[in-house]
């Protein structure tokens, strides 16, 4: 199982904060998005993290990983 989280404006746009993806194939971060949202391209400027570390869209994801997608950050 891959645990997926969405934050801020992206979560609002998608209408949910979390997903779970039951998959046995090897996926990249981009592949996780495509599996969950086949009709929605990943919005430009979206950032991704795997297990709470920034990740490229090409990074591979393993069973049990937490993948997060979020818009550009605006703290401080």
- Strands across the sheet containing 2-6: 18-21, 2-6, 66-70, 47-50, 53-55
Q: Which of 8-16, 22-30, 36-44, 57-65 is the region at the interface with another protein (rule: CB under 8 A)?
A: 8-16
Question: In this structure, how many other beta carbons lie within 10 angstroms of the beta carbon of residue 46?
Answer: 15
Cβ atoms within 10 Å of 59's Cβ, excluding its own:
16
Which CB sits closer to another protein, 9 or 26?
Answer: 9
Work out whether strand 2-6 and strand 60-61 pair parallel, antiparallel, or are unpaired. Answer: unpaired
Report the residue number, 9 or 60, with the smaller CB distance to another protein: 9
Number of residues this chain uses to bind another protein (CB under 8 A): 17
**Which of 5, 23, 42, 46 touches another protein (CB under 8 A)?**
5
Q: How far is the CB of 24 from another protein (least distance, A)?
A: 27
């Amino acid at each position: 199982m891959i645990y997926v989280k969405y934050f801020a404006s992206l979560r609002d746009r998608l209408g949910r904060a979390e997903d779970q993806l039951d998959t046995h194939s090897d996926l990249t971060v981009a592949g996780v998005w495509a599996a969950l949202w086949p009709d929605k391209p990943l919005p430009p400027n979206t950032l991704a993290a795997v297990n709470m570390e920034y990740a490229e869209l090409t990074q591979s994801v393993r069973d049990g990983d937490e993948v997060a997608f979020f818009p550009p950050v605006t703290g401080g």
